[in-house]
Amino acid sequence: MTAPDIWMQTLRGSAMDLMAPTADMVDLFGDVAEVLARICRFGGHVPGGIYPVAQHCVLGAVAIMDETGNTALARAFLLHDAHEAYLGDFTTPVAQALQRRTGLALAALLPAGVEQARRTGQGLARDALKGLKRDLDRAIFGAAGLEWPLPPEMAVEVLHWDLRMLQVERAHLLSATPHPWEPSLECIAPARLRSRIRLWPWPDAADRYRAALKDLIPHIAARAA
């Protein structure tokens, strides 16, 4: 079999084509669950230890079910960061810095239209990362037998819950902030969790992510059995 042009070897030894990912390349119970359990949120800058992305996804899905009972929304939240199993966790400030750097580099090449070049470069970098995530999300949701893209109103709700989780995670896990965060975050109510966040060891985080997959998406649990 010819190797894809740009691919990565996954945890279980398969190939993920990063330019053209497909559902059959995605291993939700193996690669996704275990890798998300080993990736730390906030780029590792959590004083108490590793806060797994898998734990973030599970806690958010549980909070959604507790507050709304909306299984479709909880499923979407459980999978919303699954692409990080293949891309890693690009924190928002890092993504913003890459966009700014790309804009400045293009502006230096096109000094006659520096402002337009800067905006164009930032947009290109933003769209490139967004496209990688979008294509992986399509493959991941396909592997789960779920609709993609999400309905617009559900996509908005997933983002809203991500910010609500960020609020409570910041309060429970991070050091005191030296500067205010984004104004859009400061006015959002934190998610209501069942208890204060305690960091899960990565094997527990992987197992709980698998359990959430089986609970919220039972049709894939039957296939994985």
DSSP string, 121-132: HHHHHHHHHHHH
Position 224 scores a pLDDT of 67
Rounded to whole angstroms, the Cα distance separating 46 from 173 reads: 6
* Residue 217, CA distances (Å) to 63, 67, 79, 206, 221 in order: 17, 19, 11, 16, 7
Average pLDDT over residues 59-63: 99
* Token pair of 19 as six digits: 């330019």
Over residues 169-218, the pLDDT tens digits come to 999 999 999 999 988 888 999 999 999 999 999 999 999 999 999 999 99
Over residues 106-144, the pLDDT tens digits come to 999 988 888 999 999 999 999 999 999 999 999 999 999
Query: Over 80: is that where the pLDDT of 223 sits?
Result: no
Domains of the chain: which residue ranges? Answer: 7-89+146-224
Position 111 scores a pLDDT of 84
Q: What is the pTM of this model?
A: 0.96
Average pLDDT over residues 94-113: 92
How much of the chain, in percent, has pLDDT values that exceed 90? 92
Position 112 scores a pLDDT of 81
b/e for 182-205, b at 16 or more Cβ within 10 A? eeeeeeeebbebeeebebbebeeb
The distance of Cα 141 from the centroid of its chain, to the nearest Å, equals: 13
Position 186 scores a pLDDT of 86
> 7-89+146-224: CATH homologous superfamily?
Hypothetical protein af1432 (1.10.3210.10)
